[in-house]
């Protein structure tokens, strides 16, 4: 169950866009993630500020994993071959993750 | 204090007829490989051949048809259904 | 375990494992469908897909008829497993 957690850890300090189940989309720098896939974002920007004006003053946030629908990932920082191999082998952590293996 | 409650007597319990009654697990074992109808909580039905299933009721179906309000809305060669969406699995042919 | 029917899969997740690096169809809660290339998944059905297209069915609640489709695309997408209803691999012939 740790595979996806490891993927997110390797994406620390990259810019991602998190889309929530209430349709709110937040772009920011991924600062940290935990085993529940809770996410901390810095320098955030809400995609549709007109619809969510109360979010304009918010600079960083903690997102509970369970409210996430999608996370758009920076494709250039995702090694798809490595992911497929790790998934096939049922390996639950991947090289380059801070936890090591 | 020598009045013990009557012990349940070892009368021969009726042996369950094979393949018919039995536990939910027995039902599921018998229905693997058969045509089934999987109804989801949303009311959508999937009709297909049950390849296998696991303890979460995740289901693999073959030759699957998606039925919404009795109308075929999609066909899939194979389909994986996430178990939390499942309301029931029903046999669509005699066991 | 029962021998699986004509396909050699023993548990539902085998179906998904055989679809790695293939284009899959994913049906999600909220009248959403995705098509994308599957690169990773886990036991919750969290997914990582690339070259993803999402179709949202916009349903008219009065007539219960699908009146419109909204499409979006992403290069690389994580999909949280709790929204997944169905995953269909490419047909194996």
Q: Does A74 touch chain C (CB under 8 A)?
A: yes
Tell which residue, A43, A81, A77, A34, has the closest CA to residue A61: A43
Chain length of chain C = 93
Q: Is residue B4 part of a domain?
A: no
Rounded distance between C-alpha atoms, residue A28 and residue A40, angstroms: 9
How far apart (Å, rounded) are the C-alpha atoms in residues C81 and C61? Answer: 27
Give chain C positions within 8 Å (CB) of B77. 88-92
Residue bearing tokens 């960083």:
A60
Which residues in chain A have Cβ-Cβ distances shorter than 8 Å to C83?
A: 21, 69
Measured from the Cβ of residue B1, the count of other Cβ atoms closer than 10 Å reads 3
Please report the pLDDT score of residue B91 as a whole number.
96
Structure tokens at C75: 């290069």
Closest CB to B78 among C13, C84, C89: C89
pLDDT of amino acid C2:
42
pLDDT score, position C29: 97
**pLDDT tens digits along B3-55:** 555 555 555 666 555 555 689 999 999 999 999 999 999 999 999 999 999 99
Identify the CATH number of the domain in which residue B59 sits: 2.30.30.100
Q: Do chains B and A touch (3 or more CB pairs under 8 A)?
A: no
**Per-residue pLDDT at C73:** 98
ipTM value for the complex: 0.86
Question: Which pLDDT does position A50 carry in this prediction?
Answer: 82
Residue whose C-alpha is closest to residue C39's, from A4, A100, B29: A4
Q: Could you tell me if residue C88 is left (phi over 0), alpha (psi between -120 and 50 degrees) or otherwise beta?
A: beta
A65 chain-C contacts, CB cut-off 8 A = 80
Q: How many domains does chain B have?
A: 1
The range of the structural domain enclosing residue B39 comes to: 24-91
How does pLDDT run across B53-86, given as a tens digit for each residue? Answer: 999 999 999 999 999 999 999 999 999 999 999 9
For residue B6, what pLDDT is reported?
56
Angle at C92 between CA C91 and CA C93, to 5 degrees: 110
Q: Domains of chain A (ranges plus CATH)?
A: 2-94 (2.30.30.100)
> Average pLDDT of each block of 10 consecutive residues along chain A (101 residues)?
92 98 96 98 91 82 98 98 94 43 39
pLDDT above 60 for C92 = no
Give the residue from chain B lying closest to C30, CA to CA. Answer: B42
- Check residue C3 and give its pLDDT: 43
User: Is 2.30.110.10 the CATH number for C12-82?
Assistant: no
Residue B67: inside a domain, yes or no? yes
Report d(CA A45, CA C21) in Å as an integer: 32
Contact C80 A65 (CB under 8 A): yes
Q: What is the pTM of this model?
A: 0.84
Asked if residue B28 is part of any domain, the answer here is: yes
- How do residues C9-66 score in pLDDT, each as one tens digit? 889 999 999 999 999 999 999 999 999 999 999 999 999 999 999 999 987 777 767 6
Quote the mean pLDDT of chain B: 87
Contact with chain A for residue C25, Cβ under 8 A: no
pLDDT of B15 reads 58
């Amino acid at each position: 169950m740790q595979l996806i957690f490891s993927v997110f850890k390797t994406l620390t300090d990259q810019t991602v866009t998190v889309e929530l189940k209430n349709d709110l989309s937040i772009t920011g720098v991924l600062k940290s993630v935990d085993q529940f896939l809770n996410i901390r974002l810095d320098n955030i920007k809400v995609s549709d500020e007109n619809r969510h004006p109360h979010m304009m003053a918010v600079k960083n946030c903690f997102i509970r994993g369970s409210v996430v629908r999608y996370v758009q990932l920076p494709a250039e920082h995702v090694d798809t071959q490595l992911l497929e191999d790790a998934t096939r082998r049922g390996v639950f952590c991947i090289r380059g993750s801070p936890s090591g293996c | 204090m020598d009045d013990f409650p009557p012990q349940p007597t070892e009368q021969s319990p009726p042996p369950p007829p094979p393949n018919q009654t039995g536990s939910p697990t027995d039902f599921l074992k018998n229905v693997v490989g058969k045509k089934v109808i999987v109804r989801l909580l949303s009311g959508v039905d999937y009709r297909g051949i049950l390849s296998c299933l696991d303890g979460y009721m995740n289901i693999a179906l073959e030759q699957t048809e998606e039925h919404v309000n009795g109308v075929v809305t999609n066909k899939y060669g194979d389909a994986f259904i996430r178990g939390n969406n499942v309301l029931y699995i029903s046999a669509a042919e005699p066991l | 375990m029962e021998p699986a029917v004509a396909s050699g899969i023993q548990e539902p997740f085998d179906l998904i494992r055989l679809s790695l690096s293939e284009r899959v169809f994913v049906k999600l809660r909220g009248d959403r469908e995705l098509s994308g290339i599957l690169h990773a998944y886990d036991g919750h059905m969290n997914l990582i897909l690339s070259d993803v297209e999402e179709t949202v069915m916009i349903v008219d609640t009065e007539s219960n008829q699908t009146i419109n489709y909204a499409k979006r695309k992403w290069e690389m997408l994580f999909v949280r497993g709790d929204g997944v209803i169905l995953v269909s691999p490419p047909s194996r012939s």
